[in-house]
Amino acid sequence: MREIDALLQRHSVRNYTDRKIGPEVLEKLGVMIDDCNRAGDLHLQLLKDAGKTFSRLLNRVMGLGSAPSVIICAGRESDTLEERIGYWGEKVVLRAQELGLNTCWAGTFSAKNAPVKPVEGERAVIAIAVGYGADQGRPHRSKTIEQVTSGRADRPAWFTRGAELALLAPTAINQQKFELRLNDDDTVTAVDKGGPFSKVDLGIVKYHFDLAREEAGLPKFWDGMK
Ligand SMILES: Cc1cc2nc3c(=O)[nH]c(=O)nc-3n(C[C@H](O)[C@H](O)[C@H](O)COP(=O)(O)O)c2cc1C
């Protein structure tokens, strides 16, 4: 499956069957996580058993408590930590989708109850629930391309496509609080318009946008983000 097809198929899934993820699939997902940790200087940890990560009432009500596995997304504190987690974490999410799994980014996870020891100097920013969904989720309501873009009027096709893929990105409470500005020199500035977890959102949005760049045979903008 092309990564872009996984992107088109992905929706947040909050209810999971009790099917456990087998060793082969875990191994394949683990390889991608290792790659992303290296590329993004991060510490994403795949826990086969989510334990009590989603034991809070809110998560149980939302269904996330049924997720068998979880990825705890942590890293050393820095100004760009949250954005890098969004960018590389979304690559992992799409790999999970390719492997037949379902996911949900979850800001409401409990770092304290997760069955993993925090590493000194690191912060666990967010979790990603992983498992086999009881359903495949459904498309979210979306802003329009006009609402999230600005800048030069003569727009190359890759820019419009990038905005289209960005609008398919998961964002916290579906807030889509970002702006993609096309500059005169054909670069793009992605602006964070605030809100809970909006920096993680921005990283995810950048990853989706970069897949449009790749599709057009152009270099990605943000894969070297430090
Ligand atoms: C940073 C971030 C945090 C999120 N936190 C939660 C959460 O705590 N609980 C939850 O049920 N969904 C959470 N979500 C999922 C969003 O609600 C979901 O992505 C959004 O409604 C869009 O739907 P979609 O992912 O199906 O496209 C989060 C998503 C992101 C990107």
Sheet with 102-106: list strands edge to edge: 43-47, 69-76, 122-131, 102-106
Read off the pLDDT of residues 135-152 as tens digits, 9 standing for 90 and up. 999 999 999 999 999 999
- Which one of 7, 12, 178 would you pick to mutate in the ligand 1 pocket, going by the greatest count of ligand atoms within 8 A of its CB? 12
Tell me what pLDDT residue 6 has. 98
Tell me what pLDDT residue 225 has. 95
Q: Which residues line ligand 1 (CB under 6 A)?
A: 11-12, 14, 62, 64, 104-108, 126, 137, 140, 170-174, 197, 200-201, 204
Distances (CA, A) of 133 to 19, 86, 110: 9, 22, 21
Is residue 60 scored above 90 in pLDDT?
A: no
- The domain spans of the chain are 3-131, 145-215
The CA-based angle 148-154-156, given to 5 degrees, is 75
Using alpha carbons, select from 55, 61, 68 the residue that is nearest to residue 16: 68
Any residues with CB less than 8 A from the CB of 71 and at least 6 apart, and which? Answer: 33, 44, 45, 46, 47, 89, 92, 127, 128, 130
Tally Cβ neighbours within 10 Å of residue 120: 6
Is 0.85 surpassed by the pTM of this model?
A: yes
Read off the amino acid at residue 170: P
How many whole angstroms from 152 Cα to the centroid of ligand 1? Answer: 31
Using alpha carbons, select from 225, 197, 70, 48 the residue that is nearest to residue 125: 197
Using alpha carbons, select from 148, 154, 40 the residue that is nearest to residue 86: 40
SS3 assignment, position 16 = strand
Using alpha carbons, select from 208, 201, 178 the residue that is nearest to residue 191: 178
How many whole angstroms from 170 Cα to the centroid of ligand 1? Answer: 6
Read off the pLDDT of residues 65-78 as tens digits, 9 standing for 90 and up. 999 999 999 999 99
How many whole angstroms from 87 Cα to the centroid of ligand 1? Answer: 15
> Mean pLDDT over all residues of the chain?
97
Any residues with CB less than 8 A from the CB of 208 and at least 6 apart, and which? Answer: 7, 90, 162, 165, 166, 168, 169
Tell me what pLDDT residue 30 has. 98
Read off the pLDDT of residues 6-59 as tens digits, 9 standing for 90 and up. 999 999 999 999 999 999 999 999 999 999 999 999 999 999 999 999 999 988
- CA 86 to mean position of chain CA atoms: 5
Topology, domain 3-131: NADH Oxidase (3.40.109)
Report the greatest alpha carbon distance in the chain.
Answer: 52
Is residue 62 scored above 90 in pLDDT?
A: no
Contact yes or no for 84/77 (Cβ under 8 A): no
- Phi/psi of residue 104, each to 5°? -155, 125
Give the lowest-confidence range in 25-34, 50-59, 120-129, 176-185: 50-59
Residue 192, CA atoms < 13 Å, CB-side half-sphere: 18
